[in-house]
Amino acid sequence: MAAAEFVSEARLSRLFRKEVGVSFVQYLTALRLRHAADQLLTTRKTVQQIARTGIRQYANDERFV
């Protein structure tokens, strides 16, 4: 993302924290938790099924392969 905006990762991180109030990692974690909570409330999926969905998302990310 930083390269697309032509700024350093550190600068983008500071700007994100200043605008949103939390770090990007904290924001992403909260977003994932909200999504999981929504799935628990609106589907018949088990906690294990929802957790496995998140793990599969990481499997496609080259940083986790």
Is the residue at 42 inside a domain? yes
Tokens of 24: 């990007």
Is the residue at 12 inside a domain? no
Q: What is the structure's pLDDT at 65?
A: 38
Segments in 1-65 forming alpha helices (H): 2-5, 9-20, 24-42, 47-59
pLDDT per position as a tens digit, 8-21: 888 889 999 999 99
Q: What is the structure's pLDDT at 2?
A: 66
Q: What is the structure's pLDDT at 62?
A: 53
Is the residue at 10 inside a domain? no
Contact 20, 27 (CB under 8 A): yes
Is the residue at 4 inside a domain? no
Is the residue at 47 inside a domain? yes
Residue ranges of the chain with per-residue pLDDT less than 50: 64-65
Q: Which domain holds residue 53?
A: 25-65
Q: What is the structure's pLDDT at 64?
A: 42
Is the residue at 11 inside a domain? no
Q: Which amino acid is at 17?
A: R
